[in-house]
Structure 1
Amino acid sequence: MWKSIHRHLHRRQATTPPREGCRLFDVPWIIILIQFIVILALVLGLFAFFLTRSESSPPSVYSTRTYQNFELQTLSPSSSPLTFRRRYKSSTETPSTINFDFSEDLEPTLSPVVLPIEVIASTTKSHQSTILENVNSVEVFENDENLRAAVFTSSKICSEIGKSILVRGGNAVDAAISASFCLMGALPNKASLGGGMMMTVKKKNGNVTTVIARESAPMNINLEELKKNPELTHVGPKASGTPGVLNGLYRAFQKFSSNRIQWKHLVTPTIQQCNKGFDLNEDLKNRSDAPALASFFKTNMRNNKLFCSGLSAILTEISDYENPLDSFYKGEMAQKLVKEVGGYLTVSDLEDYESDMASALCTEIDTDTKVCGPGPPSSFAVLANTYLATKNMSNLSKVNEFVKSSQGLTYKIGDPMFVKSSKKYAEELSKTSKRTSVETKEVIVNFKENGSTKIFVIDENNMTVSVTLSLGDDFGNLIYSSSGFFWNNKMRYFDLKNDNVPLSIQPGKVPTTMISPIIVVKNDSKKSNNKINW
């Protein structure tokens, strides 16, 4: 019987055709492989979802308290600086326009009053003499009856460098960046890699954008120490905030560059000039005998020229990096800078730094003219509403009264990462003409920034750029880096006497500033598009 069964099975196998490729076993393995891929994709998707959610939503990082006319946000100690900054960047928007209406507070117009505000409203030849009176060095291109392009700085050689960038096909932003590096060599007391900057850019289409790269308070600051010893915020290592100028310049390059000139070629002219030497201006000559600066001038001044070998070396390194920010804010250079300056600054502060880019605040100052500038922590809005509220006043005493009282508004402007303008604040703003200076007597912050300089560039395509570079006080905190720059002393612009106010000092916060790079835009559609209107 077993033999019969065996013969039957053998006969069946012989008559059954073989299955190619063992398909009997292929189907289950394909199904298993597909299931594995699907499960892996789901796991990775869930992981990415929770990671993105943790980076973008700030439920537990902030604690918000509302005071009389503003809301104050505080960083939770458990949040890392990197997460803190990323969450803020992804969740904050800046309004594109601000309109101030003080018509109810204005007196009838009798005669115009000239205020201490520089507004350039025309660029035709008939107005060139007025423009040139207000700048130290100008490189101008002329074409027929209209001014086609110009570079304004406080240094002749830096204006020439900016001009050379325009001649080579660069735009206004390219020229402003190159001039900024040049000023770090020509005016080390006002422009520096250890400082901050703000930039306002008007493109040909009329869109106006600001880049704010002001210094932020280090995350490891000792609040009690600074309150007990406020002099530490003026001079020395603990006076410095995290520098932002290089970050701001490179972000502007990424966003607005003409793409005709490489980043390296914007830096190279300054490297070359550092080796040739910059002519000393009168301000630096007068300071060359100061005891606190004796070492700086002894090392860098020869035959009335200022040489900057240290700056040349670090700019060479910055220009050679694929990402220039990595050379300064990360790695060995960051460690060297932190060790050198001391104080509260850490490598994490440098690694986590990021500038802000947003639409500019713009307000109409005439029927065909608007002025644009940066939002908080700049006090540009105060400048704009003060101008609007007083431009038709004829009583000088009332103008002075109003200007003094309006200065109190600056104390209500703070870093938008921490201070959010609420409805109550807007109501307060609408009543500024009735404010008295008594209300802000208890706040003592000297906003004057002697260590600052300006750049203004306009190119043939009507792109306009206004830049302010600043260290705070002249020569910043008086510490000169071996890399060829002075460190800032921006910590002194915080209010150390009062807590829970917009100007109070907090880790990661950017102090309020009175300086603003502004652009005045003429809305003149009747003129040809190739004419420049500011």
Structure 2
Amino acid sequence: MDNNQMAMQQPSNGLQETEEASNVNRNRKWHKRQTKKLGLIVGCSALVIVLMLVIAYIVTSQPQRVAKVAPNPVAKLPPSESKLQQFRRAAVCTDAVICSEVGRDILAKNGTAMDAAIAALFCNGVVNCQSMGLGGGFLMTVYQRSTKRAFTLDAREAAPAEATEELYSTPNLSKQGALAIAVPGELLGYWEAHKRFGNLSWSDVIMPTIKICRDGYKMTLHQSDSLKLKEKHVMNDTYLNSIFVDPDTGKLHKEGTLIKNTKLCDTLQEIADSGGDSMYKGNLARKLAKDIQDIGGKVSEKDLSDYKVRWLDPVSTTLHGGETVYTVPPPGSGVLLSLILNILDHYQINEKSMSTLQDSITTYHRITEAFKFAFARRGELGDTDFVSINDLLSNLTSKEYAKELKSKIEDDGTSQDPSHYGAVKISTEDHGTAHISVLAENGDAVSVTSSVNLYFGAGIASQSTGIILNSGMDDFSFPKFPNAFQLPPSEANRLAPGKKSMSSMVPSVVVDSNGDVRLVIGASGGSKILTATALVIMRHLWFGETIKEAVDAARFHHQLYPMQLSYEFGVLQQVLDGLEKIGHKTDRYRERGSIICAIAKLGASLFANADFRKGGEVYGL
């Protein structure tokens, strides 16, 4: 290669090196730019994540601040907005305003206390169908002033003939669905009670409810809340869906919506025309049984025709003030109400028992211990047609046994051991209900508690009749299902064909030493029925509170399992501190709890109050 050629190549090599250097620089700059971009992306992403975390914190913490639990009060709460009503002649208390009006109007037409009670029950079964109705059952206490006698009627649901424990492989089968349905006793109970104590014609008692049903009723807040709790079941049942779901939005109807159950209205008309036994024989019975069996239920036409209500002798006890309490025997829990009152009656409790803080703590403690002793024996109770418990019932209602239990209560201590209170079996937790109290001008009284068990019963309505069907099978004890307390379920309350399950219902009438009605009372609210009723009776008769003050007062509850004292907002913190020092474990419950409907007679005046916790009203003459 000559020099010229070399000279020509050298610039070429220099250019190549320059280009390579340039490429390297470009690559470095590109990498720097990419690194900056990546850093920017990472930084932005981190910022977004931080912002999202901050937003999430704000969103999630805000409801907690809104729903922050208020501290227990240290001073007595002001009265609720419910009205203390006063009447001269008669009164009707229900948890649905329109139904109290219906009962009052029946009394004004010369209807008896029973006429008014049945009319109000029919009405409540339409407007409070989530809690009671023709597909359920009831317990009733009746007082007849002319004879000074009390009667009780058992119209609880009964197990179908084909029902066996083996059918219930999981606990939920007794709560929801076709197998949860027991034979309803509601309507036959109305029919038999009306035949014995009614005055107006059968159709006259039903017609006001048929009109309400045809016109429609406005959904209450309580029914709206119940729908939300049972939304899944209501959505899944074709008929319930057609009544309670807005077809345009696919969402549950809201409070204030006009509700019409057309098929139920037709059923009520058939019952008015054909009689109260028409659901147990004939066309209506065939339709109802077919609807249940078509979805796999066990209630048959024969179960309906075989069903019987029972008139039973009341449980009664006389207190130190001369008042006699009449209430229901098993399958109700009247013997336990009697036991609680008898234990505490030995303390001669009066208004001075709450005069100081220490007196209040001691009284609350004694009442709580009485509750525990009562619930300890509940697991031994059952349908007396199936279990022999006469000796037990005599013992539980005796003053001597109550005095023996009272002697076991120590004012400065409590036990966390259920066996200390005599518990050997665990009872079944029961559920919501509705209650009606009536006092007529002639001095007769009716106290009745009705239920379809869980809200909307089994979550099923009869497609041809519009009747919401109960979940009564869930009130039986099932030995195969373990419980959290490691105690065997109640043998006395085990399922058997035709048997009626235990209930906390205690519809009661209290009369004075002259035989005049002093108090008509009962409650809804599952297991808290028993303790709520006992508390209001004590507050009114012994503490000297008006019936409104007694109903308004914050309640507390102990059912032994779990081993804790449950209480409502309103129990003073100082009292709770004192109870905890004695050894009680306390826990405030958030749900509505129990609902009382009570009528009190003082001299020539009647005073009545519908519990503010649910609403409702009292009407009278």
Tell me the distance in 1 between the aligned counterparts of 2:80 and 2:268: 33
Query: Secondary structure of the equivalent of 1:495?
Result: coil
Preserved contact between residue 243 and residue 259 of structure 2 (Cα < 8 Å): no
Q: What does 1:274-285 correspond to in 2, within 5 Å?
A: 274-285=213-224
Matched, 1:492 2:474: yes
2:195 alignment counterpart: 254
1:177 pairs with one of 114, 118, 121: 118
Tell me the distance in 2 between the aligned counterparts of 1:209 and 1:387: 20
> Cα distance 1:426–1:207, how it changes in 2: closer, same or farther (>3 A)?
closer
Query: Secondary structure of the equivalent of 1:420?
Result: coil
Preserved contact between residue 216 and residue 510 of structure 1 (Cα < 8 Å): yes
Q: What one-letter code is carried by the residue in structure 2 that aligns with 1:190?
A: S
Q: What one-letter code is carried by the residue in structure 2 that aligns with 1:316?
A: Q
Q: What does 1:135-214 correspond to in 2, within 5 Å?
A: 142=87, 147-205=88-146, 206-214=148-156
Write out per-residue CA displacement over residues 388-447 of structure 1, whole angstroms, 9 at most, x where no aligned residue: 212427354344233223202111111010112243664577255559623546525212
Matched, 1:293 2:234: yes
> Cα distance 1:351–1:130, how it changes in 2: closer, same or farther (>3 A)?
farther
1:265 pairs with one of 186, 199, 204: 204
Tell me the distance in 2 between the aligned counterparts of 1:188 and 1:214: 17
> Once the 2 structures are TM-superposed, how far is the Cα of residue 526 of structure 1 from its aligned partner?
10
Preserved contact between residue 460 and residue 532 of structure 1 (Cα < 8 Å): no
Query: Secondary structure of the equivalent of 1:445?
Result: coil
Tell me the distance in 1 between the aligned counterparts of 2:196 and 2:396: 36
For the pair shown, the structure with the greater C-alpha radius of gyration is: 2
Tell me the distance in 2 between the aligned counterparts of 1:467 and 1:130: 27
494-503 vs 266-275, greater mean Cα deviation: 494-503
Preserved contact between residue 217 and residue 242 of structure 1 (Cα < 8 Å): yes
> Once the 2 structures are TM-superposed, how far is the Cα of residue 531 of structure 1 from its aligned partner?
4.2
Q: What one-letter code is carried by the residue in structure 2 that aligns with 1:177?
A: I
Matched, 1:404 2:372: yes
2:265 pairs with one of 286, 299, 312: 312
1:520 alignment counterpart: 510
TM-score between the two structures when normalised by the length of structure 1 = 0.68
Q: What does 1:28-427 correspond to in 2, within 5 Å?
A: 133=82, 142=87, 147-205=88-146, 206-226=148-168, 228-257=169-198, 259=199, 261-289=200-228, 290-294=231-235, 296=240, 298-300=242-244, 304-321=257-274, 323-325=275-277, 327-342=278-293, 343-391=297-345, 392=347, 394=362, 396-423=364-391, 426-427=394-395
> Once the 2 structures are TM-superposed, how far is the Cα of residue 284 of structure 1 from its aligned partner?
1.6
> Once the 2 structures are TM-superposed, how far is the Cα of residue 532 of structure 1 from its aligned partner?
6.8
Preserved contact between residue 379 and residue 427 of structure 2 (Cα < 8 Å): no
Preserved contact between residue 138 and residue 450 of structure 2 (Cα < 8 Å): yes
Preserved contact between residue 194 and residue 485 of structure 1 (Cα < 8 Å): yes
Query: Secondary structure of the equivalent of 1:292?
Result: helix
Preserved contact between residue 152 and residue 328 of structure 2 (Cα < 8 Å): yes
Query: Secondary structure of the equivalent of 1:481?
Result: coil
Preserved contact between residue 368 and residue 524 of structure 1 (Cα < 8 Å): no
Write out per-residue CA displacement over residues 68-100 of structure 1, whole angstroms, 9 at most, x where no aligned residue: xxxxxxxxxxxxxxxxxxxxxxxxxxxxxxxxx
> Once the 2 structures are TM-superposed, how far is the Cα of residue 184 of structure 1 from its aligned partner?
0.9
Tell me the distance in 1 between the aligned counterparts of 2:298 and 2:207: 32
Structure 1: gaps of 5 or more residues: 1-128
> Once the 2 structures are TM-superposed, how far is the Cα of residue 224 of structure 1 from its aligned partner?
1.5
Preserved contact between residue 184 and residue 485 of structure 1 (Cα < 8 Å): no
> Cα distance 1:134–1:194, how it changes in 2: closer, same or farther (>3 A)?
farther
Matched, 1:443 2:397: no
In the comparison of the two structures, how many residue pairs are matched?
391
Tell me the distance in 2 between the aligned counterparts of 1:506 and 1:419: 11
> Cα distance 1:376–1:300, how it changes in 2: closer, same or farther (>3 A)?
same
Tell me the distance in 2 between the aligned counterparts of 1:414 and 1:477: 22
> Quick one: percent identity of the two aligned structures?
27
> Once the 2 structures are TM-superposed, how far is the Cα of residue 204 of structure 1 from its aligned partner?
1.7
Query: Secondary structure of the equivalent of 1:152?
Result: strand
RMSD over aligned CA atoms reads: 3.0
> Cα distance 1:288–1:397, how it changes in 2: closer, same or farther (>3 A)?
closer
Query: Secondary structure of the equivalent of 2:140?
Result: strand
Preserved contact between residue 368 and residue 523 of structure 1 (Cα < 8 Å): yes
Write out per-residue CA displacement over residues 273-298 of structure 1, whole angstroms, 9 at most, x where no aligned residue: 11111121112223445232235254
308-317 vs 417-426, greater mean Cα deviation: 417-426
Tell me the distance in 2 between the aligned counterparts of 1:212 and 1:134: 32
Q: What does 1:467-486 correspond to in 2, within 5 Å?
A: 467-482=448-463, 483-486=465-468
Query: Secondary structure of the equivalent of 1:209?
Result: strand
Query: Secondary structure of the equivalent of 2:376?
Result: helix
Matched, 1:506 2:496: yes
493-502 vs 191-200, greater mean Cα deviation: 493-502
> Once the 2 structures are TM-superposed, how far is the Cα of residue 523 of structure 1 from its aligned partner?
2.1
> Once the 2 structures are TM-superposed, how far is the Cα of residue 372 of structure 1 from its aligned partner?
0.6
Write out per-residue CA displacement over residues 173-194 of structure 1, whole angstroms, 9 at most, x where no aligned residue: 0000001000111101111111
Tell me the distance in 1 between the aligned counterparts of 2:308 and 2:83: 33
Tell me the distance in 2 between the aligned counterparts of 1:220 and 1:525: 46
Preserved contact between residue 92 and residue 103 of structure 2 (Cα < 8 Å): yes
Q: What one-letter code is carried by the residue in structure 1 that aligns with 2:493?
A: L
> Cα distance 1:440–1:518, how it changes in 2: closer, same or farther (>3 A)?
same
